[in-house]
Homo-oligomer: A and B are copies of this chain.
């Protein structure tokens, strides 16, 4: 029962553990985004949560797992956005704009960070993350192609269309600062417009 579960949640050990683990990942991801993975020590991550480095190892196997989960968190959110946003009568362009807007909101409002340091992951983990990124990329490319098919999006290499505006999204992480003058909503509006003009027919 969902309602019972949510009332009991604060007393449920597993739920608390999961929530704390999630807090570790989110806090670390934010630090990774700002200073980079290798410039953030386990001690730093612990300190930000009022914990000792050793305590972190109660929640995660190792530092790399944190990086892995950070990536997953972002890609899960993006998948969610792609899944929930239905074309329902929209042109390809409108649909794409809506998705892109939600991507910007995700990165500026929710605390989720889109990281680039994939090469600090090894073996299976790296492969998995690259695959996830690829899937999302492919889905966005498909959106563009649909827009080209219905005539709302300009012709041209769909991959290049996508690389261009996904660059804006990734670059956002480097300069966006929640405290700054620019508000997430303004950025979403501006970027949506620039995306639209850039690729519409």
A57: CB under 8 A from chain B? no
Chain B CB within 10 Å, residue with most, of A154, A169, A174: A174
A198: CB under 8 A from chain B? yes
A138 to chain B, nearest CB (A): 14
A147 to chain B, nearest CB (A): 14
A139: CB under 8 A from chain B? no
Copies in the complex: 2
Q: Which stretch, A5-13, A18-26, A34-42, A83-91, touches the partner chain B?
A: A34-42
Is the Cβ of B174 less than 8 Å from the Cβ of A170?
A: yes
Is the Cβ of A194 less than 8 Å from the Cβ of B190?
A: no
A29: CB under 8 A from chain B? no
Count A-side interface residues using an 8 Å CB cutoff: 40
Q: Name which residue of chain B comes closest to A193, CB basis.
A: B156
Is the Cβ of A160 less than 8 Å from the Cβ of B174?
A: no
Q: Which B residues are CB-close (under 8 A) to A167?
A: 167-172
A84 to chain B, nearest CB (A): 25
Is the Cβ of B170 less than 8 Å from the Cβ of A182?
A: no
A80: CB under 8 A from chain B? no
Give Cα A161–Cα B197 distance, bound, in whole angstroms. 12
Q: Which stretch, A48-56, A60-68, A71-79, A115-123, touches the partner chain B?
A: A115-123
User: Given A157-B190, A175-B163, A195-B198: A117 and B36 within 8 A (CB)?
Assistant: yes
A residues adjacent to B (C-beta < 8 A):
34-39, 116-117, 119-120, 154, 156-157, 159-161, 163-172, 174-175, 182, 186-187, 190-191, 193-195, 197-200
17 A-B pairs with C-beta separation under 8 A:
A34-B119, A35-B119, A36-B117, A156-B190, A157-B186, A160-B182, A160-B186, A160-B187, A163-B168, A167-B167, A167-B172, A168-B168, A168-B171, A170-B171, A170-B174, A171-B171, A194-B198
